[in-house]
Amino acid sequence: MHVVPDTLALIGKTPLVRLKGPSEEAGCEIYGKCEFANPGASIKDRAALFIVRDAEERGLIRPGGTIVEGTAGNTGIGVALVANARGYKTIIVMPETQSREKMDTLRALGAELVLVPAAPYSNPGHFVHTSRRIAGETPNAIWANQFDNTANRKAHIVGTAEEIWNQMEGQVDGFTCAVGTGGTLAGVALGLKAKDERVCIALSDPHGAALYDYYAHGELHSEGSSVAEGIGQGRITGNLEGAPIDTQFRISDEEGLAWVRRLLAEEGLCLGLSSGINVAGAVRLGRHLGPGKRIVTILCDTGFRYLSTLYNPEWLQSKGLSVPIATATS
């Protein structure tokens, strides 16, 4: 029989797909790691699994306990499904600006959902601080703390990077992705550099994030804004510390959105905006490294999570973003 023992064994071991349009555009071979194929439909299942396992191994959580997390949504979905499979409860704190689909998914999974107004990190009401406080006040609870808990990036050192290396048979010239917690970028960067230090690692930063300036000029500074969910960091998180970044690109929402639309129309891939930003970054990295190079990026989550936003003309108009001609309302 070809079976896996349980749901948790479905996390990771995702396929790599060659992306035709981006490869042609860059004159390189560009591959996307299909993280939407995880059971929670995003890359964050990997971090959730490693964080929960790490807490169990350290004896920090007992059966029937509660896992509390602050998240843009995908980590919450990952935590909730891992918690259900392991017999824990989940409390998720999330900014109210995130997609409706993520909220509905979390409720369907049985998570207790606490919505807070979007606020800067310096504000004590920020979702991360609220989740830490709730964890402290809840008996037999742990705080997953995905931003600074390095069990997150370990999932990508021993999982994502190892898989990419093996799938590419050791022939990978560059890797790029955007940063939410930094677990993916730092973990894959550390994992690939340990195999071959010549692999070029690039940050693809959305507008409104502070990391492009940090890696380019040593100063955390942001300008503009982005509607991309799950990415856009303003500080060096515990997971980002020591990440070996070689170069960086700043990608606009429109540039990412153009790839989201092309990948759907030309290749049948329905993705979220962080994936579009990653693919835009991979095309830039391909041009930077030169013809024929082999570049890997991350397809972070499914576009079905954004039908009410990215794929909704009224929503796009309300955010001042372009609307594809075929779906324009008036």
Residues 72-91 that bind ligand PMP (CB under 6 A): 72, 74
Give the Cα separation of 265 and 57 in Å (integer): 45
**How many residues sit in the footprint of ligand PMP (CB under 6 A)?**
19
Residue 181 contacts ligand PMP per CB under 6 A: yes
Residue 14 contacts ligand PMP per CB under 6 A: no
Nearest distance, CB of residue 278 and ligand PMP, angstroms = 8
Nearest distance, CB of residue 10 and ligand PMP, angstroms = 18
Whether residue 44 lies in the annotated active site = yes
Residue number with CB closer to ligand PMP (24 or 104): 104
* Residue 24 burial (10 A CB sphere; 0-12, 13-18, 19+): exposed
Residue number with CB closer to ligand PMP (45 or 173): 45
Give the Cα separation of 160 and 170 in Å (integer): 14
Residue 44 contacts ligand PMP per CB under 6 A: yes
Q: What is the 3-state secondary structure (H, E, C) of the chain?
A: CCCCCCHHHHCCCCCEEECHHHHHHHCCEEEEEEHHHCCCCECHHHHHHHHHHHHHHCCCCCCCCEEEEECCCHHHHHHHHHHHHHCCEEEEEEECCCCHHHHHHHHHCCCEEEEECCCCCCCCCCHHHHHHHHHHHCCCEEECCCCCCCHHHHHHHHHHHHHHHHHCCCCCCEEEECCCCCHHHHHHHHHHHHHCCCCEEEEEEECCCCHHHHHHHCCCCCCCCCCCCCCCCCCCCCCCCCCCCCEEEEECHHHHHHHHHHHHHHHCCCECHHHHHHHHHHHHHHHHHCCCCEEEEEECEEHHHHCCCCCCHHHHHHCCCCCCHHHCCC
Residue 95 contacts ligand PMP per CB under 6 A: no
CA 260 to mean position of chain CA atoms: 15
Q: Name the residue whose CB lies closest to ligand PMP.
A: 230
Residue number with CB closer to ligand PMP (174 or 276): 276
Residue 180 contacts ligand PMP per CB under 6 A: yes
Nearest distance, CB of residue 137 and ligand PMP, angstroms = 25
Residue 45 contacts ligand PMP per CB under 6 A: no
Residue 131 contacts ligand PMP per CB under 6 A: no
The residue within the footprint of ligand PMP, chosen from 12, 32, 78, 183 (CB under 6 A), is: 183
Residue 154 contacts ligand PMP per CB under 6 A: no
Annotated catalytic residue, options 13, 20, 33, 44? 44
Residues 267-286 that bind ligand PMP (CB under 6 A): 272, 274
Nearest distance, CB of residue 311 and ligand PMP, angstroms = 15
Residue 297 contacts ligand PMP per CB under 6 A: no
Binding mask 214-253 for ligand PMP (x = CB under 6 A): ---------------xxx----------------------
Which residues contact ligand PMP (rule: CB under 6 A)? Answer: 42-44, 72, 74, 178-184, 229-231, 272, 274, 300-301
Give catalytic residue positions: 44
